Amino acid sequence: MRSISKPLLKWFDQFGRHSLPWQAPHSGTTNPYHVWLSEIMLQQTQVATVIDYFNNFIQHFPTMEALANASEDAVLAQWAGLGYYARARNLHTTANIIMHQYQGNFPAEFTQVVALPGVGESTAGAILSISFNQNHAILDGNVKRVLARCHQVKGHYGQNETLKQLWRLARHHTPDERNADYTQAIMDLGATLCTRSKPNCEQCPIQSDCLAWQTNTQSEYPHPKPKKNKPTRTIALLIYQNTAGEIYLEKRPQKGIWGGLWSLVECENDEKKINQAIKKFDKNAQIKEKLATVKHSFTHYHLMISPIIVACTTTKGFQSIAKLKVGLPAPVKKIIAKI
């Protein structure tokens, strides 16, 4: 089984992405801080979405030290909308670890990098490959798709044996030379040609090596995850609003959905529980308006949100909508925009 690295690198030189904001400038010097940040942002998120978030994040936190010295609220505020908020909290924690344990220098040993919060084997390999040109294989979602099609790997990669086989293939194809370019090249191939639907096989540089192409079975690989019906959960979000038009927000627990973000007060979507919560907050408060239900989907379930505007007489802890500078969950932003 020959390696796909040579035709892939030849294609990358001509058609690969070379101007992403976290890539090395013409000087050739790669900033490990930028690479690490981009790899964390790219977990579960596409490049097109990440670019603006990355640029904005770097503008607010241009260095590892700036990120470490920032408050968690400030970090979450710049992350809001990107989802999977544990990533942002892990970034902040990691920045402090690097400042205190590694004197502000991103570690260059695999065991050190993979031990950092939120960094798995593939992410660690990508960071060290791109930043330090070390020889490490990677296996992100794009690479899994390319290898599954190329070798007609059976089973979903959530299954242990399938994942082991994909790792073996990833290591086999990873070259000793130009490792950093190869790492970027195979990610680019999956992102631009070997896409989930309607892959552009006609332009693929490893077409002759691809078993799926030869048998016209591209749409069958990778094998899908066995489907499960997503459950639906319902909640009410209470929009406490005072006479000045300000609203009351509370910080959510670190664990659970929207961890560490600021949100409207959550309550069971039950009339009795809602009234009890309102009277406990402000005995003189009254329901002013019930807004249309908002649906927000997570990986494992759908969330149906019933927003309720509650007129209050109290002012303690309320914030001006126009001056909000804290991280808000995406559906909470939408709800507040309707007020």
Pairing of strands 302-311, 294-297: antiparallel
CB 130 within 8 A of CB 183: yes
3-state secondary structure of 237: strand
Output the CA angle 279-284-289, nearest 5 degrees: 80
Instruction: Name the residue among 224, 206, 195, 226 with its Cα closest to residue 151.
Output: 206
Angle between helices 121-132 and 32-41 (to 10 degrees): 150
The SS3 call for residue 287 is: strand
**Is residue 290 helix, strand or coil?**
strand
d(CA 303, CA 297): 6
C-alpha–C-alpha distance, residues 119 and 121, integer Å: 7
Compute the chain's Rg from CA coordinates: 24
Phi first, then psi: what are they for 152, rounded to 5°?
Answer: 45, 55
Q: Let me know if 39 is a catalytic residue.
A: yes
Cα 220 to Cα 84, 186, 206, 254: the distances in Å are 29, 20, 18, 39
Task: Enumerate residues 6+ apart whose C-beta is below 8 A from 209.
Answer: 2, 4, 7, 150
| Active-site annotation holder among 39, 161, 177, 271 | 39
Cα 114 from Cα 47, distance rounded (Å)? 23
Name the residue among 142, 167, 185, 218 with its Cα closest to residue 4.
Answer: 185
3-state secondary structure of 163: helix
Q: So which residues are the catalytic ones?
A: 39
